Amino acid sequence: MFNRLKFRHLFAKFVYIFRLAPVFWRQNDDFVSIVNYHYFSNEPTEGDDLEVSFQTIEQQIRTLKDEYSLLPCISGLDSLFMQQGGELRTPVVILTIDDADCNILQLVPILEKYQVPITLFVPVGFCLDDESLDGLRSRCLHFGAFNLLNKVEGHERYNFENCFNEVMGLNIGQLKALLDKLLIETDSDRNPLAERKLLNVQDLEKISKHELVTLASHSMSHVRLAFLPDKWLRWEIERSIDYIKDWGGNGVLFSYPYGNKGSFNSATQKVLEGKGVKYAFTSLANNSVANTLPYAIGRSFLFNSADKKYVLGTAGGAFELFDRILGRT
């Protein structure tokens, strides 16, 4: 059976060894490489490509610090987009994490040990109490959108605007009943985000005070924003950023849910600009140079491997080349 993770591991190593990555083509230019994570554990589940062990990420950080300046998100990107010329600097790596996994609390001592900053993109609605109005709305909208996109029987008569208006008009008891119904209609209660234990509001307010951690928005209900009507889109972006600011986070950063090609568009950019967002992040693997669109900044995922060549190949742009070959960019 084809092992996708093993192939990607070997590809990154190959690109690093033979200096083929796009960053190496521009090795005399300034660039910023954004590395992204999702979930952490002491013993990652076999086959779960989103989980990284604490031991592995510590080794990855040591490797990256030897070759790069690991900077906070905003200052790192400002150094690229607002540079005034002059001498070249050490290439920059920025670390980001999507989804606010509760195990991030165990990562903080490692960040302190190496003085490495991170930006934590929060799916706000899933971190709210599931007894709260916006928390229940977010869960219903998440599974409602899933049903609509997958044309679950009984939902063909709805469109996205009807879905949003219905959910926003329900009280807590009605939302709970709707959520139970939606989970049954999806024929599964397993969901990569919903089944995880995420940081709660108290955790987020506490961790936002840490000098090495920046909170930012990953939307309210973690749906593909490009599909949404204007009212729903604005709620996802504007409401989530309001919560982030209330919790001590930064409203100028945003990470698109999914972040792949087709999950964001000019309408999302317009709303982000109107809310004061400065930089928005995709899951496309392109590294950032000065002509990168600030609302389509790519990131590369590091999997659970501490192999030096794999880590440096990934941070150096291996998967920008990979995505170009596959036509994903």
DSSP states of 258-280: S-STTS--HHHHHHHHHTT--EE
Does the pLDDT at position 24 exceed 90? no
Burial class (CB in 10 A: 0-12, 13-18, 19+), 223: buried
Q: What does the alpha-carbon distance between residue 248 and residue 87 come to, in Å, rounded to a whole number?
A: 35
| Cα 178–Cα 176–Cα 154 angle in degrees, nearest 5 | 10
Q: Residue 152 has what pLDDT?
A: 47
Does the pLDDT at position 5 exceed 90? no
Radius of gyration of the chain (CA): 20
The total number of residues shown for the chain amounts to: 329
Q: What does the alpha-carbon distance between residue 172 and residue 113 come to, in Å, rounded to a whole number?
A: 44
Does the pLDDT at position 172 exceed 90? yes
Does the pLDDT at position 46 exceed 50? yes
Tell me the pLDDT band of 154, cut-offs 50, 70 and 90.
very low
Q: Which residues pair with 95 in a beta bridge?
A: 35, 118
Tell me the pLDDT band of 23, cut-offs 50, 70 and 90.
low
Q: Residue 157 has what pLDDT?
A: 45
Q: What does the alpha-carbon distance between residue 226 and residue 301 come to, in Å, rounded to a whole number?
A: 22
Which helix or strand (DSSP H or E) is residue 121 part of? strand 118-122
Q: What does the alpha-carbon distance between residue 138 and residue 142 come to, in Å, rounded to a whole number?
A: 6
Does the pLDDT at position 282 exceed 50? yes
Q: Residue 94 has what pLDDT?
A: 96
Q: Residue 187 has what pLDDT?
A: 63
Task: Kindly state the average pLDDT of the residues 86-113.
Answer: 89
Q: What does the alpha-carbon distance between residue 236 and residue 145 come to, in Å, rounded to a whole number?
A: 13
Q: Residue 179 has what pLDDT?
A: 92
Q: Residue 148 has what pLDDT?
A: 75
H-type alpha helices, the chain = 4-17, 22-25, 54-67, 73-81, 104-114, 124-127, 133-149, 160-168, 172-185, 201-207, 230-234, 240-246, 266-274, 308-315, 318-326
Q: Residue 310 has what pLDDT?
A: 96
- In Å, how far from its chain's centre is CA 204? 16
The 8-class DSSP code of residue 226 comes to G
Task: Kindly state the average pLDDT of the residues 127-132.
Answer: 94
Residue 232 CB coordination number (10 Å): 23
**In this predicted model, which residue has the larger pLDDT, 191 or 326?**
326
Q: What does the alpha-carbon distance between residue 301 and residue 322 come to, in Å, rounded to a whole number?
A: 12
Does the pLDDT at position 166 exceed 60? yes
Percent of the chain exceeding pLDDT 90 equals 66
Is this model's pTM higher than 0.75 or not? yes
Average per-residue pLDDT in the chain? Answer: 88
pLDDT per position as a tens digit, 201-247: 999 999 999 999 999 999 999 999 999 999 999 999 999 999 999 99
Count of H-run helices and E-run strands, the chain = 15, 10
